[in-house]
Structure 1
Amino acid sequence: MSYPDNFEGFAVVDSHKKWLSPEKVVYPAKQFNPRDVDIEIEACGVCGSDVHCAKGNWGEMKLPLVVGHEIIGKVVRLGDKCDTGLKVGDRVGVGAQVSACLDCNRCNNDNEQYCPKFVTTYSQPYFEDGYVGQGGYASHIRVHEHFVIPIPESLETNNVAPLLCGGATVYSPLKRNGCGPGKKVGIVGIGGIGHMGILLAKAMGAEVYAISRSHAKEETSKQLGADHYIATEDEGWETKYFDTLDFMVLCGNSLSAVDFGKLPKILKAQGVIASISVPDQHEAIHLHPAQLLGFQITQSCLASRAEIIEMLNLVAEKKIKLWVETVPISEENISTVFKRMESGDVRFRFTLTDFDKQFDQFKAKK
C-alpha cells in the first residue's frame, strides 16, 4: 500500500485579516518513526482552542496553520515498533497532545500532559527536529502511538469526537479531585466543555451544581442532569450556598468575569477551584493574598492517555450522549462554524464530518 508524502488540510493563512477564511493547503507530513501511526481522518470536533489559535489570541503562530485536535479516524499505517495493540483499520482518536519525552517521572506516572517536552497537536514544534505539527481539519495525521486512543465500538464517531479534548480536559480534574458519590461538585460556565462537565460528573455519581451568570441555561442544565442551578446574578447566592461544594471546575473561555471574592465562599474549607480556562494571552487573574484564605486554586491541563481511555469507557458504559451539531467540512463551513463559536451560537459542540468528500485523492491507495 502506498501513502502520500504530503497531507492536505484547511488552514488559516492570515490570523489577522483572514482567520475566518481558511484555505485548502498541501503540507509535508512529519518524518515517519518506528512507533508512529498514520491516521486517515474521518471527523474532528471544533474546540474553542481552534478559534483562539486561528484568531491569534494566544500569540503569533507559524502559518499556514491547520487547527483541530478532537480527531477520529482509522489507522492506515503502523510503525514496525508499535506495541500498543493497534491494527490497521482500527478506529482511533487523537486529542490535543502528540508528544512528550515518555521517560521522565511525570510521563511514567500518567502525567505526560505535564511533561517539560509536551507538544501540542498543532502549532508547536517538536523538540527533536523542529517540525511544526498540523491538526485535524485535514486528510491525515501522523502521531506517536502513545497518543493514539482506541475508541470503544459502541461510541458514535461524531458524538465522541469532542471528548478527545474538551471532555478529557474536564474529566481529568473531576477524576483527580475525587468526583463521585457523596461529593458536591460545581461546574462553572455551561458552554461546550461545561455541558460535558455536567454529563461526566453526574455519570461519576456526584451531586452536580451548574453555575452560570444568569438563569438562561437553567432548564438546559437540568436536562443535562444537574441537580442544582446557581445564577450568580441573584442577590445573596454566595450566602445561600455558603460552605456547600467540595470542589468546582471553571469551564469558561475567560476568567475576567469570575468573582473570586464570592465564588470560593460556596466551597467547604480547603475546597478546590480547578480551572481549565486558557483565555486570551493578555488576560490575567489579580488576587490579593487574603482572597486565597480557605481554598485552593489550580490550573488543570488536558488529560493523560490513561484518563482519556477511562473516560471513554465511562461514556460507553453510561451511554452518555453529548449535544453535538454535525457540519460537513469545507472552507465555507469552517468559516461559519468559527463565526458561530465567536457569537456563542452553538448548543454545545460542533463536529466536522464528510472528510472523505474533501480529501478523496489523499486517501491511501492499494
Structure 2
Amino acid sequence: MSRDTFNGWVGKDLSAADGNLVFEEFEPKRWEETDVDIEITHTGMCGSDIHTLSGGWHAPEFPYVVGHEIVGRAVRVGSKVNHIKVGDRVGVGAQSDSCGECEFCLSGNETVCDKWVQTYDSRHLNGDRSQGGYADHARVPGRFVIDLTPYPNIPSELLAPMLCGGITMFSPLKRYGAGPGKKVGIIGLGGLGHFGVMFAKAMGADEVVVISRNKSKEADAKKLGADRIIATSEPGWEKTYGSTLDIIINTADSTTMPFSGYLRLLRPLGTIVQVGAPDGNMPAWSGFALFMKQRSIAGSIVGSRADIKEMLQLANDKEVKTWANFFPMTKVNDAIKAFNRSEARYRIVLINEKHVH
C-alpha cells in the first residue's frame, strides 16, 4: 500500500473552530485497490465540522481535515471498484466504510455497523485516520462512493449538502412513514430543518409544520413548503397544538429544549426522532407525556447508501433545491466565521474553484 500527500485546510488546535484552518499537506489513508481518489469541486459545511473542531462532542484528535459532504470527479479508481470510472461525478457523505459482513451491513443497515467509519474523525479498517473534504482531494473506500451521474438535475453545489444534511432528514422521514395521510413536524428551521420541510412535502405529507422558538423564520418556512409554524415562546403552545402530529423530526441540539412539550405535540402512537446532537446530555422529559399516549422516541443518524440514492432520485425528480450560500474554498475561514454567526441560511458550500471547469 502506498502513502502519499494531499493538500487541504487543516485544523491544528481548538482555534480552528473560530476560523483558523491552515492550508498545508496532509496524509490520506494508504492506497488500496478498493479505493477511489476524488478531485474535490464542492464540499458542504456541516454543523458536525464545527462540533468536531471545537471538541464539543469529545476530546479532539488534531490535526483534522473536516468535511463530509463531498462532490467531485473520480481521478483514480482501484481495480476492485466496479461501479465508478475515472471522470465520473461522484459524492461521499458522512460514512465512508463499514465491515460489510455483519447482519446490519448485509441487510442494508450499514449505518449501525460496529465498525462504521466516518469520513473524518475516525479510523479506516486498515488503521489509518480518515480525513475529509476541506481539501483538493479525498481518498475514500470505493464501496461508499456514490455515482452521481443519474441525477443531472441537481447541480453539484446544491447536491453536496444533501449527502449529510439532506439524508439526515430524509432517512427518518422515510423510515417512520412520512407521506400521504401524515402530519409532520420539523423542530428547528436551520441547515437540517429546511431539508426536512422540503423532503416531507416532496414525499406527499398532508401537512408540514415547523416548530421554532419564534416566528422570525415564518416567511422562509412557507417558501420552503411548510403549512404553518408553531412558536414555543407563545404561552400554552403545547396545549393549543397538542396531539396534532404523527411524526416529529427534532434537529434542535440544545440541552434546555422543551422536550416534554415536543412530546405532547404527538398524536397517540406518534414518534419523535432525535437527530440533533447536543454538546452534553438531552434535557429531562416527562414519562407521562411519553407513555400515556404510547408515543415513541427514536434516534437516527444519516442514512444508508440505498437511502442516499433514493433521496437523490426524489430531489432530482421533484426539483428539491438546497438553500445555500457559497464561499470559495480559499475563504473557508471566513465561511466558518459566517457559520458561527448563524448566517448560513441554510447551508454553506465551499467551492474549490481550481477544480470547477
Task: Tell me the TM-score normalised to structure 1 length.
Answer: 0.92
Deviations 1:235-256 (A, max 9, x none): 222222222111100012x132
State the secondary structure of the residue aligned to 1:261. Answer: helix
Residue of structure 2 equivalent to 1:328:
328
For residues 236 and 174 of structure 2, the distance between their equivalents in structure 1, rounded to whole angstroms, comes to: 30
Partner residue of 1:341 out of 319, 339, 345: 339
**How far off is 1:357 after superposition?**
6.6
> Is residue 132 from structure 1 mapped to residue 129 from structure 2 by the alignment?
yes
Q: Residue type matched to 2:188 in 1?
A: G
1:42-90: per-residue Cα shift (whole Å, max 9, x none)? 110000111111111122222221110000001111111112x211111
SS at match of 1:278: coil
Q: Secondary structure at the match of 1:106?
A: helix
Q: Rate the CA distance shift 1:115–1:355 in 2: closer, same or farther, 3 A.
A: farther
1:355, CA displacement in angstroms? 4.3
Q: Kindly tell me the number of residue pairs found equivalent between the two proteins.
A: 351
Q: Distance in 2 between matches of 1:234 and 1:290?
A: 23
Distance 2:31 2:9 in 1: 22
**For 1:39 and 1:357, how far apart are their aligned partners in 2?**
11
Deviation at 1:264, TM superposition (A): 1.3
Instruction: Determine if contact 2:40/2:352 at 8 Å carries over to the other structure.
Output: no
2:216 aligned partner: 216
Deviation of the 1:286 alpha carbon: 2.3
Q: Which moved more, 1:167-176 or 1:52-61?
A: 52-61
Q: Does 1:108 align with 2:106?
A: yes
Aligned twin of 2:317:
317
- C-alpha contact (below 8 Å) 1:340/1:346 kept by paired residues: yes
Equivalent residue number for residue 238 of structure 1: 238
Label 1:17 to 1:88 Cα distance change in 2 as closer, same or farther (>3 A): closer
Higher relative contact order (Cα pairs below 8 Å, separated by 6+ residues): 1
1:356 matched to which residue of 2? 354
Q: Report the Cα distance in structure 2 between the residues aligned to 1:143 and 1:165, rounded to whole angstroms.
A: 16
Provide the C-alpha distance between the structure 2 equivalents of 1:18 and 1:272, rounded to a whole number of angstroms.
Answer: 34
1:261-298 Cα offsets, whole Å, 9 max, x none, are 22111211121010111121x33332353343231111
Q: Secondary structure at the match of 1:262?
A: helix
- The residue correspondences of 1:86-97 to structure 2 (distance < 5 A) are 86-97=84-95
Match of 1:159 in 2: 158
What is the distance in 1 between the residues matched to 2:49 and 2:141? 22
Point out where structure 1 has 5 or more consecutive residues left out of the alignment: 361-366
Amino acid at match of 1:227: D
Counterpart residue type for residue 242 of structure 1: G
1:64 pairs with 2:66: no
Whole-angstrom CA distance in 1 between matches of 2:255 and 2:278: 9
For the structure 1 residues 59 and 16, does the alpha-carbon distance in structure 2 shift closer, same or farther, using more than 3 Å as the test? farther
Match of 1:363 in 2: none
**What is the alpha-carbon distance in structure 1 between the residues aligned to residue 196 and residue 338 of structure 2?**
21
> Do residues 298 (structure 1) and 263 (structure 2) align?
no
In the other structure, the counterpart of 2:78 is: 79
Distance 1:62 1:355 in 2: 29
Contact conserved, 1:260 with 1:291, CA < 8 A, in 2?
A: no
Q: Provide the identity percentage.
A: 41
Q: Secondary structure at the match of 1:117?
A: coil
Deviations 1:176-230 (A, max 9, x none): 0011111100000000110011011100001211111101011110010001211
Q: Deviations over 1:294-351 (max 9, x none)?
A: 3111110111000000000000000111111111012xx2222212222212211110
Contact 1:41 1:355 in 2 (8 A): no
Report the Cα distance in structure 2 between the residues aligned to 1:9 and 1:31, rounded to whole angstroms: 17
Give the alignment's Cα RMSD to 1 decimal. 1.9
Distance 1:99 1:231, change over 3 A: same
Amino acid at match of 2:244: T
Q: Tell me what 1:364 maps to.
A: none
Structure 2: give runs of 5+ residues left out of the alignment: none
SS of aligned partner of 2:65: coil
Match of 1:39 in 2: 38
